[in-house]
């Protein structure tokens, strides 16, 4: 046992700072995000915080083993591109090495296989790109460079659940200054369970001690303080992932009732690329891609983002 058990009194954040050590860079990142939000907000731009990728939960303090939540990061990364296309500035809070906007389009490609140096002098500073290996590269590069030059994308990385939770809190505080211009698009796959520091063994768990039994605590639900205290004017969207379709909508509705935010995007693991339901208090909208659209490489994130940006406009006009 590494630390003593924290006191029973819990802060408004469900005990976040008591149970999870604050990352050393959290305050610097908060300032960066606040400057980004103020800069874009004062230019009349909306800002979306996208969370993307899965959280990692360590089983040992000097971590050899950990539990991971599944998410490739594709939904977050592709949505970031559609939000940028719609004029939003984007804070991209993502799991280290999960898919990233624009580069995600070449995720399966070995870069060295798509470059040619034949007939090019080594020191000439020029290299040929194989257009078959990197299709549309010039177009994608232009979009990426335009976004970068305009400072419209702020990437922030997390690895562990603890980093994710603290950086989400920092982001929410940073975005509170722009009120209803802020959107939270919480697509990251976040663990429901963790082992508190005071129950975690310091060293690698030994298999010589026999089969492993672990008991995990419930992760505090950050959506509650986010909606109530940290960014009460923002437009907040959470995602609900299930593997059993029969319970999906009931769970999505329950999340809306519990946290009182604006919408839940409900999806089932196997069908998430072609079917989601956007659930709000009064509506339930299915977004579906036809086989033809899948063939044409239409992405469902395009539909999700159009749906939510329109709802965000309506939300802003009502406050």
**In the complex, minimum distance from the CB of residue 133 to ligand 9Z3, in angstroms, rounded to a whole number:** 23
**In the complex, minimum distance from the CB of residue 190 to ligand 9Z3, in angstroms, rounded to a whole number:** 5
Sheet holding 153-158, edge to edge: 153-158, 89-95, 47-52, 182-186, 235-242, 263-268, 275-279, 284-288
Beta carbon nearer to ligand 9Z3, 59 or 189: 189
Restricting to residues 272-291, name those near ligand 9Z3 by CB under 6 A.
272
Beta carbon nearer to ligand 9Z3, 62 or 254: 254
Pairing assessment for the beta strands 128-129 and 182-186 based on DSSP bridges = unpaired
Q: Are residues 14 and 224 in contact, defined by beta-carbon separation less than 8 angstroms?
A: yes
**In the complex, minimum distance from the CB of residue 4 to ligand 9Z3, in angstroms, rounded to a whole number:** 31
SS3 82: helix
Binding mask 157-176 for ligand 9Z3 (x = CB under 6 A): --------------------
| H helix intervals, the chain | 16-19, 26-42, 74-85, 137-149, 161-175, 223-225, 245-259, 291-295, 300-318
The span from the CA of 22 to the CA of 67, in Å, is 20
Query: Which of 183, 186, 289, 308 contacts ligand 9Z3 by CB under 6 A?
Result: 186
**In the complex, minimum distance from the CB of residue 23 to ligand 9Z3, in angstroms, rounded to a whole number:** 20
Report the half-sphere exposure of 117 (CA within 13 A, side-chain side): 8
The piece of 11-19, 134-142, 184-192, 282-290 that touches ligand 9Z3 (CB under 6 A) is 184-192
Phi-psi region of 9 (alpha: psi -120 to 50; beta: other; left: phi over 0): beta
Query: Which of 160, 162, 262, 267 contacts ligand 9Z3 by CB under 6 A?
Result: 267
The piece of 15-23, 105-113, 238-246, 302-310 that touches ligand 9Z3 (CB under 6 A) is 238-246
Query: Which of 83, 239, 259, 315 contacts ligand 9Z3 by CB under 6 A?
Result: 239
Beta carbon nearer to ligand 9Z3, 41 or 73: 73
User: What is the DSSP code (8-state) at residue 202?
Assistant: S
Q: Are residues 156 and 29 in contact, defined by beta-carbon separation less than 8 angstroms?
A: yes
The span from the CA of 140 to the CA of 135, in Å, is 9
C-alpha torsion 278→283→48→298, nearest 10: 40
The piece of 104-112, 157-165, 201-209, 235-243 that touches ligand 9Z3 (CB under 6 A) is 235-243
Q: Are residues 287 and 276 in contact, defined by beta-carbon separation less than 8 angstroms?
A: yes
Query: Which of 89, 171, 234, 241 contacts ligand 9Z3 by CB under 6 A?
Result: 241
Residue 30 contacts ligand 9Z3 per CB under 6 A: no
SS3 143: helix
Query: Which of 147, 183, 189, 219 contacts ligand 9Z3 by CB under 6 A?
Result: 189
Number of residues that bind ligand 9Z3 (CB under 6 A): 15
Give percent helix, percent strand, percent coil of the chain, each to the nearest 5.
40, 20, 40
The span from the CA of 47 to the CA of 38, in Å, is 9
**In the complex, minimum distance from the CB of residue 71 to ligand 9Z3, in angstroms, rounded to a whole number:** 4
Beta carbon nearer to ligand 9Z3, 147 or 190: 190
Restricting to residues 56-115, name those near ligand 9Z3 by CB under 6 A.
71-75
- The residues that touch ligand 9Z3, with contacts defined as CB under 6 A, are 71-75, 186-187, 189-190, 238-241, 267, 272
């Amino acid at each position: 046992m590494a630390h003593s058990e924290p006191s029973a009194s819990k802060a408004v954040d469900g005990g976040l700072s008591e149970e999870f050590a604050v990352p050393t860079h959290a305050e610097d990142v908060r300032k960066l995000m606040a400057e980004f939000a103020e800069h874009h907000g004062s230019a009349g731009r909306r800002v979306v915080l996208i969370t993307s990728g899965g959280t990692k939960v360590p089983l040992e303090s000097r971590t050899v083993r950990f539990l991971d939540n599944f998410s490739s990061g594709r939904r977050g990364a592709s949505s970031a591109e559609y939000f940028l296309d719609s004029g939003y500035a984007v804070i991209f809070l993502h799991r280290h090495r999960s898919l990233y906007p624009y580069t995600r389009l070449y995720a399966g490609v070995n870069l060295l296989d798509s470059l040619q140096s034949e007939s090019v002098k080594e020191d000439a500073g020029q290299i040929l790109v194989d257009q078959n290996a990197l299709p549309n590269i010039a177009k994608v590069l232009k979009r990426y460079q335009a976004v970068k030059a305009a400072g419209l994308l702020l990437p922030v990385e997390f690895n562990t659940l603890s980093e994710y939770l603290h950086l989400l809190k920092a982001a929410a505080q940073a975005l509170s200054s722009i009120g209803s211009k802020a959107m939270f698009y919480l697509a990251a796959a976040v663990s429901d369970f963790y082992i508190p520091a005071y129950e975690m063994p310091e060293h690698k768990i030994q298999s010589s001690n026999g089969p492993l039994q672990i008991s995990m605590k419930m992760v505090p639900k950050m959506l509650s303080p986010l909606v109530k205290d940290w960014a009460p004017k923002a437009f907040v969207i959470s995602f609900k992932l299930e593997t059993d379709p029969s319970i999906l909508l009931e769970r999505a509705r329950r999340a809306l009732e519990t946290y009182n935010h604006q919408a839940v995007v409900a999806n089932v693991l196997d069908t998430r690329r072609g079917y989601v339901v956007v659930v709000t208090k009064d509506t339930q909208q299915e977004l579906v891609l036809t086989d033809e659209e899948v063939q044409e490489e239409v992405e469902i994130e395009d539909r999700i983002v159009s749906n939510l940006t329109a709802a965000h406009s309506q939300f802003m006009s009502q406050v």
